[in-house]
């Protein structure tokens, strides 16, 4: 971003201890009958924006943050945040900024803008202070538009040891406590209890080079505006940045940790964070011991009647802020299914494994109601359209078996999903072998599914080339394009390197990994089904191509002239060609 050709640097001060807030009842509610999902999404977005908007009042603007239960007053110089229950108030007020010894004092902003939940103070041509009030909480930052005019090399004998310097007065009754390394500030109340934290000060220049920076406290500063707001009872803060040799713009971020994710229905023992995945600006987090009985997307999170059913949570980034976008549950939520033990993401597709799911269905989108295959496992595919998520596929093994743990691991790349079943027990080896026997207990398997349009089909059944009982093949899986890797942590071979001898089992639990290349599926008729899955009864000449894709090729091998009849004319053709082939 640039203004007047000058690159912008941002000072983003974010407080994860009090910025996280769960989705509101309206945001989580399904679309009412008769209202389209798109219209309902627009209504929700407008509702969220308006209820966080700053309203002009005498002496500035007032905003409400319902998630944090705060009232925030912006008085044209700074802010004061006060919780509903009272007990404390807190704010930061910029006093001066610039080169050490040559700071520019700030008095009143040249311009104050309030649009929706965003307030900005344009102090001068070089600095804008801004606040964003939304469902994440209140974000506070500074944008430095250009390098300060006084440089290190001016030779005038000034105190050049501190570089850039920002002086901030602390409003309210909280006092700052700076850590020994100067990177963390904790604001405490009169009893010494921590209330607000700034953590992990980090500064980068335009090349990503980290610069030395630190906070320190100085004697309390009282300003006229501060006196009106309740004075500055505690020490103030100085933020120092050593920018020698740096290339502008600089990013000054007192929170190295950009976001602190918690479930919107945090509860003891949910195991939120046991599995995580990220793609672009979207993060998915699994909580395989979450207990709600909800199904599908954004259901009721309050009920804890299905212990360890599991859930997954989707978070998105907008600018420097994160918010929860979706709460995912299985379409057939069941106690102890452990949905969320594994998660994977690629673009707008999320895959969630539930290794203890118990239906006896096989393949894709089968009957979920039967619970006769305890611990068989399942995987669920969710897709995003705009900001809305929906379940697209319910994946099961082609040889579903009790205790196979299908869904222990999952991976996705584009239109390909791989699911591991580390306790599957067939003695097959290689690709698409015999799945029927259970002669190699817990040897493990992996399954490859491909998508055409919105339709999923199983493309391959993978086994180790040296299948062995208890090898746990499928404990981990990964996929990139047509390349699949499967881990078998308990394989016993004593080989080393690549493609060594697999026959020996002289190193118990040594482990192995197996690389497969899955060629892309052909779909000659464009019906969304890979050709290899529709050959039965549809490949009369046995050439591996569905009949409806080659209308000019005779179905009957004996019909040499292609007239649809095997008769003397065909025999004549055969006899005329009788003899040795070739010249």
Please report, for the chain, the start and end positions of each structural domain, with discontinuous segments joined by +: 2-253, 272-517, 552-583
Q: Taking a C-beta distance cutoff of 8 angstroms, is the pair 442, 410 a contact?
A: no
Consecutive H or E run containing 72: strand 70-74
Residue 50's φ and ψ, nearest 5 degrees, are -70, -35
- The pLDDT score that the predictor gives to residue 454 is 92
Q: What's the pLDDT score for residue 256?
A: 35
Q: Cα torsion at 81, 180, 193, 265 (round to 10°)?
A: 70
Q: Tens of pLDDT along 519-560?
A: 766 667 777 666 666 666 676 666 667 777 776 665 666 776
Q: Residue 36: pLDDT above 90?
A: no
Please name every residue paired with 58 in a beta bridge, in sequence order, or none if there are none. none
Residue 445: the pLDDT is 97
Residue pair 315/350 in contact (Cβ under 8 Å)? The answer is no
Residue 409 has pLDDT above 50, yes or no: yes
Report residue 229: phi and psi, to 5°.
-85, -5
The string of pLDDT tens digits covering residues 307-359 is 999 999 999 987 546 789 999 999 999 999 999 999 999 999 999 999 999 99
Assign residue 212 a region (left: φ > 0; alpha: ψ between -120 and 50; beta: otherwise). beta
Q: Does residue 11 register a pLDDT over 50?
A: no
17, pLDDT greater than 60: no
- Write down how long the chain is: 583
Q: How confident is the model at residue 135 (pLDDT cuts 50, 70, 90)?
A: low
CA-nearest of 387, 383, 415 to 27 is: 387
Q: What is the mean pLDDT of residues 22-27?
A: 39
DSSP structure string for 364-382? BS-------STT-BEEEEE
- Which of 162, 161, 168 is CA-nearest to residue 142? 168
Beta-strand (E) ranges in 154-267? 164-172, 175-178, 185-188, 194-198, 202-204, 210-211, 213-218, 236-241, 251-253
What is the overall mean pLDDT for the chain? 81
Q: List all residues 6 or more positions away from 414 whose beta carbon is below 8 Å from its beta carbon.
A: 346, 347, 481
What's the CA gap between 80 and 70, in Å, rounded? 10
Q: What is the pLDDT of residues 415-445, one digit of tens each?
A: 999 999 999 999 999 999 999 889 999 999 9
**SS3 call for 236:** strand
Mean pLDDT of 268-284: 94
Provide the pLDDT for residue 10: 30
pLDDT over 60 (residue 485): yes
With beta carbons less than 8 A apart as the criterion, state whether 83 and 69 touch.
Answer: yes
- pLDDT exceeds cutoff 60 at 178: yes
């Amino acid at each position: 971003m640039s203004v007047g050709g000058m690159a912008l640097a941002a000072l983003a001060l974010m407080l994860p201890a009090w910025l996280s807030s769960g989705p509101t009842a309206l945001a989580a509610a399904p679309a009412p009958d008769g209202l389209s999902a798109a219209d309902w999404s627009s209504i929700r977005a407008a509702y969220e924006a308006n209820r966080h908007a700053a309203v002009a009042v005498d002496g500035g603007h007032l905003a409400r943050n319902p998630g944090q239960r705060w009232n925030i007053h912006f008085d044209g110089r700074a802010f004061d945040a006060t919780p509903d229950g009272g007990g404390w108030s807190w704010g930061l007020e910029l006093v001066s900024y610039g080169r050490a010894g040559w700071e520019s004092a700030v008095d009143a902003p040249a311009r104050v803008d309030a649009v929706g939940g965003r307030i900005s103070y344009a102090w001068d041509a070089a600095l804008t202070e801004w606040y964003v009030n939304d469902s994440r909480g209140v974000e506070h930052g500074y944008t430095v538009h250009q390098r300060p005019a006084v440089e290190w090399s001016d030779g005038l004998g000034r105190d050049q040891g501190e570089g850039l310097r920002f002086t901030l007065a602390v409003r309210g009754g909280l006092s700052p406590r700076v850590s020994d390394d100067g990177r963390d500030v904790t604001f405490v109340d009169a009893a010494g209890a921590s209330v607000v934290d700034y953590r992990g000060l980090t500064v980068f220049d335009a090349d990503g080079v980290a610069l030395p920076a630190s906070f320190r406290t100085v004697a309390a500063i009282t300003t006229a505006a501060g006196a009106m707001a309740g004075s500055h009872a505690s020490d103030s803060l100085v933020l120092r940045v050593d920018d020698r040799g740096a290339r502008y713009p600089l990013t000054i971020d007192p929170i190295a940790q950009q976001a602190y994710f918690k479930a919107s229905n945090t509860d003891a023992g949910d195991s939120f964070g046991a599995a995580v995945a990220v793609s672009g600006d979207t993060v998915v987090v699994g909580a395989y011991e979450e207990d709600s009985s909800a199904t599908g997307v954004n259901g009721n999170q309050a009920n804890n009647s299905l212990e360890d059913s599991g859930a997954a949570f989707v978070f998105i980034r907008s600018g420097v802020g994160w918010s929860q976008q979706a709460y995912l549950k299985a379409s057939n939520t069941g106690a102890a299914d452990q949905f969320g033990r594994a998660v994977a993401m690629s673009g707008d597709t999320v895959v969630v494994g539930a290794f203890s799911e118990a239906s006896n269905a096989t393949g894709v989108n089968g009957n979920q109601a039967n619970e006769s295959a305890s611990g068989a496992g399942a995987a669920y595919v969710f897709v995003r359209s705009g900001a809305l998520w929906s379940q697209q596929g319910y994946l099961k093994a082609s040889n579903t078996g009790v205790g196979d743990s299908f869904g222990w691991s999952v991976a996705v790349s584009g239109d390909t999903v791989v699911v591991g079943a580390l306790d599957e027990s067939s003695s097959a080896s290689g690709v698409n072998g015999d799945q029927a026997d259970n002669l190699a207990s817990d040897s493990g398997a992996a399954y490859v599914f491909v998508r055409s349009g919105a339709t999923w089909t199983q493309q391959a059944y993978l086994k180790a080339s040296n299948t062995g009982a208890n090898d746990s093949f499928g404990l981990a899986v990964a996929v990139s394009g047509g390349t699949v890797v499967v881990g078998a942590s308990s394989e016993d071979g004593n080989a080393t390197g690549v493609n060594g001898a697999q026959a020996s089992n002289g190193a118990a639990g040594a482990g192995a990994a197996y690389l497969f290349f899955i060629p892309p599926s052909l779909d000659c008729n464009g019906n969304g089904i890979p050709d290899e899955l529709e050959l039965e009864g549809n490949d009369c000449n046995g050439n591996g191509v569905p009949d409806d894709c080659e209308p000019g090729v005779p179905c009957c091998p004996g019909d040499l002239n292609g007239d649809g009849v095997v008769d003397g004319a065909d025999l004549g053709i055969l006899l005329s060609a009788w003899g040795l082939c070739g010249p």
